[in-house]
Each structure stands twice: as structure tokens, then as C-alpha cells.
Amino acid sequence: MKKILCLASSLVLVCFQVVWADVHIMTINDFHGWVEESGSSPGMAKLAVFMNDYRRRHPDTVVVSAGDNYQGEALSTLSRGDLVNALFGLVGLQFSAVGNHEFDWGTEHFARWNASGVQYLAANVVDRKTGQAPAWVTPYAIVQAGGKKIALIGLSTRETPGSTAPKHIKGLRFEDAALSARRWIRHLKQGRDRLGAPDAVILLSHVPSFQDRATGLIFGDELSALTGLKGVDAIITGHSHKRVTGRHRGVPVVQAGCFGKAVGVLRLEFDGRRLARVTPEVIEFKGMAGSMPADPGVLAVTETYRKRMSGLIDRTVCRLRTDLPFERSRDEQLTPLGYLICKAIQTQTGVQVALVNNGAIRRGLKAGIVTYGHIMGVFPFDDYVVTMRMSGKDLTSLIKAAVEGKDMRACQFAGVRLRVRPGTGGRQRIVAVQLENGDAIRDETDYTVAVPDYIFEGGDGHNFAAARDAHYVYVQLRDMLVEYLEARRDIDAPDIARLYGNGPGRGRP
């Protein structure tokens, strides 16, 4: 791109032409299948108009994703990523980091996703047997834009093993992102790729970053190790769902929130061959979604998929009399929706206590007709239910650990009532656990419990070593809720006030 630079001296206006080349890297992250407009997320059709207009104005734009692309809306989940990839193709998205949720259906879909035009990049995902990258992923790619060679090194977060069902990442090792990045930066800088040394090296990562809104300070442990590396020109981050734009130790960092609510841009300005400057930016669509135009191509493709799946998605499950929101930012507390879900599992499996990790619940339900598609939005994951038996002593400590958990590791519950007191860091501390009917939990007595297989198998750091007679119920969590709601038809918000609080918590409700 050519720019006219004008300098005014005291006497003459001197205009001269400098050849600056701009390359734009446009990124989204943690899209989570939010194909259709919802709340502050404009949906893919509107996003596409914005992105394609940007690409028209800046032809040297490379479009990427920092991972966690699918697992949200029913259309995205049922099509196992195919709809999202088809729509990514319509905005020219070519490369993606491997997010933890890319493993939710095992690794069998990567080959198809790569073939569809979204190439997955991860330098730190290694096959334990060969010590090399598995066949379905590439450590890096060099893309040519604006006459420049831009290297994108893919990096997964070290949090992947702790937030993925172990069976889905069997045989894989997640290496330290900084160590892997260093190895491939060296490879690239030495010109060992057949295209020669790149003009810029960008880390396309699903590594989380955070930013203090007041001070603008960017932070993140895993990020710090990356910004400490030599030869990194910018870092694209993800996973934390935050809006991040600025510099960490002088290295430009960008992350565009989540669900397509924003788009991130890295503008690379070259002075001849030299990369002169990288400017990160996040463009948010808050409050704009309503007035944004929609791309007819995206709508048409979405409609094709909808027709194919309409019988299932549009099936009425029940009627809700009130909204049942689910705010993940308040996930340490029991919510009516969380309780209803756990109640459904408790009822359908006949156990005394049910727990569901907050991370399994992705969104709330609105009052009115609830369809199977809506329930899929709540539970995009194919979690199965596991029932088990454990002593009252183990149950009490399990509940304390599971409900007091931090971040998204806490659980919703049914079957027990908890007395809490304010603890450290604004969190609640559980001081007493009883059965929901007010009966005491006796240390030596056995109780029956049900949880999603994801946490039973150690997901989110949960530990069920004390469980006995574990039994996989081969009905998905989602379908258990559907069966429970279908049997009731008209649903009110359950009253949970008596189950979680700082009152005396004694006697029957």
C-alpha cells in the first residue's frame, strides 16, 4: 500500500512518496459456534459483512482464528464444525490455533476440517509415540500477503489437558508453548522453510491473556513466557474470552473477546522489507448488532444446514414461564437453571445427589417455547452421566471441593442444601452440608451420586477416587434434561433460596 507522507517545513510543503506495505491479520477467537445473532453477538452473517468489507478495503488481510471455534449453538454442534468452517470460508478464514474445545469430539474431525480450508496450527501438540506433530496438525504456516511472508506459529494452551476429557487427548502430549515456539522461531529465522526466512513471526495461540481495564496492563503466566521470547512480532491469544489489546513487554498482544462480539486486528507496517511497526486493535460490536447488515451468502448456507436438521432442532421440549439465565461470571452460586439441570439428572437416574460442572452449561433459557435446539445451546457438549456410590464423609468433602471450586470449576447441585459463610477473595465457604430435605449426611452411610462423565474422569481437576460402583448411564446429559422437561411441559423457575445461604439451615423446609 502506498502512502503519501507530507512534511511541512517553515517555507515549503514537501510531499514525498514512501513505499510502506501494510499487512492486516484479522482474528476472532472462542467463536463457539455462535452462528446466529444472539444478544451482543452479531452472528456470522453480520460479522461476515464487516469482515469482508474490511478485506475489500485492505486486500492484504489474513484472517485467522485463535481456536475454540465450535461447540455452542445446536447448528454448529450437530454439524460437527462443518457449518462453522463453511462460514469461515466465506470470510476467508484460513488458519486456526487448536483450542481445548477442538478436542471435544476426539481428534477424528481435524482431517476433515483441514480439508475444508481451515488449517489447524499447533507447534506444541505432540504425538507421544513419535514425538512429532500428529498428522492432522501443522506446527506453523507461512502465508504471503502484501508481498511479505508472514509466519503463523500455532500454540495450544497448557490448560488443554485439564479442561478436556482425557479419552479425547489420549496419546497426545501438550508441550510448553514457549519452548515449542522458541524451537520453531529458530527454524524459521534460520531460513529452513522452503520459502526462506519470513518477514514477520506471529504466534497464533489459544493461550489466555488478560487486561486490567483501568490500567491497561496485560498479564497472564503462559503469555509472559511467550513475550519473553526473541523474534516474536505479535501474539494472538484466546481462551480467556477477554478483550485484550496493547503490549506486554513491548510485544503487541490481541484477543477479541468471544462469540464473535468483536474482531481483533494486527496491522503490520513494513518499511521496505523491515517490519517497522505492529499495531493491535479490537473492534467491538456492542450495541451495533441490531443495525448491522447481514450477508445473504452466510444466511443461505446456514439455512441449508438448518433445513437438514430442522426436525431435531425445532422440536418443542417444554414451555418456560420465566427466563432462566445462566451467568458464567457468577458461576460460584447455585442458579435456578443449574438446579433444574441437576434435578433432572437426579430424577432421571434416581440418585440422591447430582452435580454438574458450570463449564458444561453454556447459556441460559428464555421464557416461552423451549426447543431441542435451545437445549443444545445450553449443553453443546456430548456429556454422558455417571452414577456412583460413596460414603457420607466422602460426599461432604466432594461437595465442598466441587461447589467451592474456583473459576469455571465450580459445580451446580441438587439433592443437598448448603450453609455458607463469606470466605476469602469474596467467595463463599461451605460450613454445613445436609440432604435437601434437611436430613443430616452421616459419615458412615452410603449415598448415591450422579455427575457428567467429563468431571468423573478428572476434567476441571475434579477427583472421584472415593467413588464406588461407578456406572456409565449411556444417556447424554442433554437428553436427560430434555426427557425431564418433556414430561412436565410447563416449567417454572425452581425456588432455590432455601438450598444455598447463610441462614441456620436446620430442619425441614
Q: How far is the C-alpha of 63 from the C-alpha of 51, rounded, in Å? A: 9
Residue nearest to Zn ion according to CB distances in the complex: 239
> Beta 2-8 vs 368-371: how paired, if at all?
unpaired
The least distance separating Zn ion from the CB of residue 74, rounded to whole angstroms, comes to 20
For Zn ion, the closer of residues 81 and 99 by Cβ is 99
The least distance separating Zn ion from the CB of residue 151, rounded to whole angstroms, comes to 23
The least distance separating Zn ion from the CB of residue 202, rounded to whole angstroms, comes to 19
Residue 105 grid cell = 469430539
Q: Reduce the secondary structure of 335-404 to three states and give it as a string.
A: CHHHHHHHHHHHHHHCCCEEEEEHHHCCCCECCEEEEHHHHHHHCCCCCEEEEEEEEHHHHHHHHHHHHC
In terms of C-beta density within 10 A (0-12 exposed, 13-18 middle, 19 or more buried), how is residue 39 classed? exposed
The least distance separating Zn ion from the CB of residue 446, rounded to whole angstroms, comes to 37
For Zn ion, the closer of residues 95 and 447 by Cβ is 95
Task: Name residues whose C-beta falls within 8 Å of residue 52's C-beta, 6 or more positions apart in sequence.
Answer: 90, 91, 92, 295
In terms of C-beta density within 10 A (0-12 exposed, 13-18 middle, 19 or more buried), how is residue 508 classed? exposed
For Zn ion, the closer of residues 65 and 349 by Cβ is 65
For Zn ion, the closer of residues 98 and 480 by Cβ is 98
The least distance separating Zn ion from the CB of residue 364, rounded to whole angstroms, comes to 20
Provide the binding-site residues for Zn ion, judged by CB under 5 A: 68, 99-100, 239
Task: Name residues whose C-beta falls within 8 Å of residue 379's C-beta, 6 or more positions apart in sequence.
Answer: 360, 361, 362, 476, 477, 478, 481
The least distance separating Zn ion from the CB of residue 163, rounded to whole angstroms, comes to 7
Residue with cell string 468471544 = 258
The least distance separating Zn ion from the CB of residue 59, rounded to whole angstroms, comes to 31
Q: How far is the C-alpha of 124 from the C-alpha of 229, rounded, in Å? A: 15
For Zn ion, the closer of residues 68 and 394 by Cβ is 68
For Zn ion, the closer of residues 99 and 415 by Cβ is 99
Q: How far is the C-alpha of 438 from the C-alpha of 254, rounded, in Å? A: 50
The least distance separating Zn ion from the CB of residue 485, rounded to whole angstroms, comes to 29
Q: How far is the C-alpha of 77 from the C-alpha of 181, rounded, in Å? A: 31
Q: How far is the C-alpha of 207 from the C-alpha of 190, rounded, in Å? A: 26
Sign of CA dihedral 234, 239, 243, 247: negative
For Zn ion, the closer of residues 96 and 100 by Cβ is 100
Task: Name residues whose C-beta falls within 8 Å of residue 425's C-beta, 6 or more positions apart in sequence.
Answer: none
For Zn ion, the closer of residues 239 and 478 by Cβ is 239
The least distance separating Zn ion from the CB of residue 100, rounded to whole angstroms, comes to 4
Q: Reduce the secondary structure of 18-59 to three states and give it as a string.
A: EEEEEEEEEEECCCCCCCCCECCECCHHHHHHHHHHHHHHCC
For Zn ion, the closer of residues 239 and 306 by Cβ is 239
| 430 Ramachandran zone, left/alpha/beta (phi>0; psi -120 to 50) | beta
The least distance separating Zn ion from the CB of residue 67, rounded to whole angstroms, comes to 6
For Zn ion, the closer of residues 209 and 428 by Cβ is 209
> Beta 411-414 vs 61-65: how paired, if at all?
unpaired
The least distance separating Zn ion from the CB of residue 174, rounded to whole angstroms, comes to 13
For Zn ion, the closer of residues 60 and 68 by Cβ is 68
Q: How far is the C-alpha of 436 from the C-alpha of 509, rounded, in Å? A: 9
